[in-house]
Amino acid sequence: MNVLLINGSPHTNGCTRFALSIVASELEKAGIATEIVNIGGKAIQGCIACGKCSELGRCVFNNDIVNQLAEKFEAADGLVIGSPVYYAGANGTLLSLLDRLFYSTPFPKRMKVGAVVTSARRAGTITTFDQLNHFFTLAEMPVASSRYWNEIHGNTPEQANQDEEGKQIMRVLGRNMAFLIKAIAAEKEKNGLPEQEPARIATNFIR
């Protein structure tokens, strides 16, 4: 079993990475392999709605990290998305990556476990947390939770290390995520996944 953790912060070893490392440590203790990938400082093209991914089975843009991450995501049992707060929202580079990663990949994501980690000096973590969880719920991915919203506070990793509540939240999140992954795997082996309807019904306001 393994979990992919995406660090959306351009600060490779900043507060977001610090929080993700705590989650990863708990997953590792539970016997689940982890990999943290830093994408915040990379140039990542946004989605242009060209639709070529439906033909290619991957994003048409092959000059950045999205298609590489797609392979890791497909092989993973869970995904943790970490983001700093920019104007009460997620990092723009991270959003560009996630739009393409989720939209362009044809493999099923249902029952992979998802979790969001947010980091801020003071505020905006809740709106960022809500924004990023939309990716999971649209993809039938169960969302791992902690005993509070998954946020840590500080302007530097040293300050984040003083947030005792934030660190506890990350530890509990890691343990809960490990439990969910193992429980889903056990049930899948025993009884398979829940029955899936053959086609998605999509309606709009005129029909």
* pLDDT tens per residue, range 129-153: 999 999 999 999 999 999 999 999 9
Q: How confident is the model at residue 204 (pLDDT cuts 50, 70, 90)?
A: confident
Strands 78-84 and 113-120: parallel
Q: How confident is the model at residue 207 (pLDDT cuts 50, 70, 90)?
A: low
Radius of gyration of the chain (CA): 17
- Mean pLDDT along residues 71-90: 97
- Mean pLDDT along residues 149-163: 97
Answer whether 12's CB lies under 8 Å from 41's CB. yes
* pLDDT of amino acid 200: 84
Residue 58 CA to residue 68 CA, distance in Å, equals: 10
CATH architecture designation of domain 6-187: 3-Layer(aba) Sandwich (3.40)
Query: For all residues of the chain together, what is the average pLDDT?
Result: 96
- Mean pLDDT along residues 176-202: 93
* pLDDT of amino acid 205: 78
- Mean pLDDT along residues 78-92: 97
Give every CB contact of residue 173 below 8 A, 6+ residues apart in sequence: 23, 26, 115, 117, 144, 145, 146, 150
* pLDDT tens per residue, range 54-80: 999 999 999 999 999 999 999 999 999
CB atoms inside a 10 Å sphere around CB 81: 28
- Give residue limits of the domains in the chain: 6-187
49: pLDDT strictly greater than 70: yes
Residue 152 CA to residue 162 CA, distance in Å, equals: 10
* SS3 call for 152: strand
- Tell me, rounded to whole angstroms, the distance of Cα 166 from its chain centroid: 18
